[in-house]
Structure 1
Amino acid sequence: MPSLLSFRMLLLFFLSFATQILAQTATSTPSSTRAPITNGTTTAPPEVSTSTPPDVYLNVPELHVGRIELTVEELQADINLNAKVAGLVQVNAGVQVSVQKINVTIADVDVNLELIVRLGHLVDIVERVFESLDLNPLLLGLINNVTNLIGDVIGAVDGLLGSITQGGTTLNFLVDNLGNIVQEVVGGATGGLSQIVGNYKLNMTQVGDEKNIGNGLIQKTFSYEALGSLVDIVFNAAGQVVQATVQKKSGGSSTSASATATPVTLPVETPVSTST
């Protein structure tokens, strides 16, 4: 009986000792999570404010180049912003890069790159124009009317060959900047109609001498005998027409076949450019 009691006491002591050892092992075991292995160089990406995001954002946090050989010939790059609102405002901002020939060798280079482009001021300009049009929508029609009026005045001075009035209908004959003769019908039930009825090659005769006006441009004078008008036509080096202008008449003569005052307008499809 005493030996059995001693055995029980020994077993209880052994279990208590083993429990303490296991508890210490559990609390002292290190975490098995491994720290990331790096090569000693860390590149943190740049912080970009999210309150006003850029219009163009390019971010290359880390770039390693072992060796690159690059040959470029005739490289042209254009970045252009063109904004126009109803003739009120026109913004043209751009960058042009041109490389004729270049040979580049790159070896063992580490690069980080960040490109941020903000067009806030340009956007503000366009937004203010839209806000003005929202508050005053009649401005849009007014601007168009003024633009058309200016175009009519320029056309009357530079492109009008003459006018004929028949039975309440006015026929305006104009020359466009391609040397075409345009007939415009003014008045009547159909309103204004325009059509090409000839050109300087078929309906005009060259008079006088040629004049070299620089930059490879040559001016020739043609006579339109049907209405007694003289037209100065400018050609480029390739022989293409770049501008046609009717010479102003001296004195009080008129090319109209009627004493009735006749309006002068431009054809709808014929643009007129000012001489440079």
Structure 2
Amino acid sequence: MQSPAMFVFALCIAFALLSGVVLGQEPTRNPSPSPSCAATTISTNGSCPCPDVYLNVPNLSVDEIKLTVDNLTAHVDLNVKLSSLLSISAGVDVSINKVELDIKGVKAELELDVRLDNIAKILDRALTTLDRNPDLLSGLVSSVGGLLSSVLGENGLVQRLVDSLGNIVERVVSDTGAVLSQVVVGAVKDLQRLSRTVNSLGQVVDQVLDTTGAVIEVIYDTTGAVLSTKVIKQATNTPV
């Protein structure tokens, strides 16, 4: 068989396998080492650098096959998120539009391996950092209730929060979780009002828009003092 035809056939087989994964068919995981892996020198930690997902079709014989595909699309996506510290998204899109294939008497080999070593190392470093600096995790948990936005700055993580008294606060947190600086930069009463209602207790309830795009719910008493605040929508660039 000519080389271009073999390429198209191998692409179709690989595409069908990817589609099986998308439809819920579980791929082979942690398989026995392939011959190439078994021949690889063992790393210093004693582990073999085998793929996380391995698929091997050593021989495929086809006497006659006819395939017609109008439109076929597959998407394999990997999302990893660790609080607001780490967010990884890796995806592959494959699309075939109107393919006709007629093959007779074919022998083919197919091998697919997926390695996630780099992602595993990133996660391991993040978890090790949390293990060595528990203050960082407690700081994240304690601040998430009033967190409006969080961005990485030159000196650390810059967080914008609203406290229970209605103050807008910006603070800088180091990578160990220590608060380096904190300053009040505004108040919820000065923000743009989106709506105003009265609850069953007769208290005024406002929804206001922060400059970051976050939406805050504010409850006032009869004198106009802030009773409580709640962030009902964080800024779009802030990981949850």
* TM-score of the superposed pair, with normalisation by structure 1: 0.45
Q: What is the total number of aligned residue pairs between the two structures?
A: 152
Greater gyration radius = 1
Q: Do the aligned residues in 1 keep the contact of 2:219 with 2:228 (CA within 8 Å)?
A: no
Which stretches of structure 1, 4 residues or longer, exceed 6 Å deviation after superposition? Answer: none
What residue is the counterpart of 1:81 in the other structure? 78
Distance (whole Å) between structure 1 residues aligned to residue 142 and residue 48 of structure 2: 42
Where in structure 2 are there 5+ consecutive unaligned residues? 1-33, 39-46, 149-160, 163-167, 169-186, 210-215
Counterparts of 1:207-226 in structure 2, within 5 Å, are none
Q: Do the aligned residues in 1 keep the contact of 2:37 with 2:49 (CA within 8 Å)?
A: no
What residue is the counterpart of 1:266 in the other structure? 230
What residue is the counterpart of 2:172 in the other structure? none
**Partner SS, residue 82 of structure 1:** strand
Counterparts of 1:1-276 in structure 2, within 5 Å, are 46-49=35-38, 51-151=48-148, 153=162, 156=188, 157=191, 161=195, 171-174=204-207, 185=219, 258=223, 260=225, 262=226, 265-267=229-231, 270-272=232-234, 274=236
Where in structure 1 are there 5+ consecutive unaligned residues? 1-44, 177-181, 188-256
Question: Alignment RMSD, CA only?
Answer: 3.9
Q: Do the aligned residues in 1 keep the contact of 2:219 with 2:229 (CA within 8 Å)?
A: no
What residue is the counterpart of 1:222 in the other structure? none
* TM-score of the superposed pair, with normalisation by structure 2: 0.51
**Partner SS, residue 266 of structure 1:** strand
Offset, 1:186: 7.0
Distance (whole Å) between structure 2 residues aligned to residue 46 and residue 93 of structure 1: 28
User: Using a 3 Å threshold, how does the CA distance of structure 1 residues 47 and 274 change in structure 2: closer, same or farther?
Assistant: closer
Q: Whose strand proportion is higher, 1 or 2?
A: 2
User: Using a 3 Å threshold, how does the CA distance of structure 1 residues 159 and 82 change in structure 2: closer, same or farther?
Assistant: farther
